[in-house]
Amino acid sequence: MSQESRPVDALNQSKGKRVIVRLRAHGSQSDEGEMIGILKAFDLHLNLWLEEAEFVKDNNKTKLGTVVLRGDNILFVSPE
């Protein structure tokens, strides 16, 4: 068995590192995109706290700084 036995373990190992977060689109496709930032913390609902966050859509980046993403809006999280 690998060192990471639960998804939460993989997230714990990503703390302090840059991650890519794919966001769910609501209604129109206008808010579909990815958030990239340094994972600082998360909870059991997969709410994520990111520092130095950037929203990326169609190769356009918008710097946001510190953000908290609601777990319900997250499709996946991946180390960058």
Determine whether 3 is exposed, middle or buried from the number of CB atoms within 10 Å of its CB (0-12, 13-18, 19+).
exposed
Q: What is the pTM of this model?
A: 0.84
Tokens of 70: 């609601």
User: Which alpha helices (H) appear in 1-80, and where do they start and end?
Assistant: 7-14
Span 18-74, pLDDT tens digits: 999 999 887 655 667 899 999 999 999 999 999 999 999 888 999 999 999 999 999
**CATH of region 7-79:** 2.30.30.100
Span 56-71, pLDDT tens digits: 988 899 999 999 999 9
Tokens of 59: 């190769």
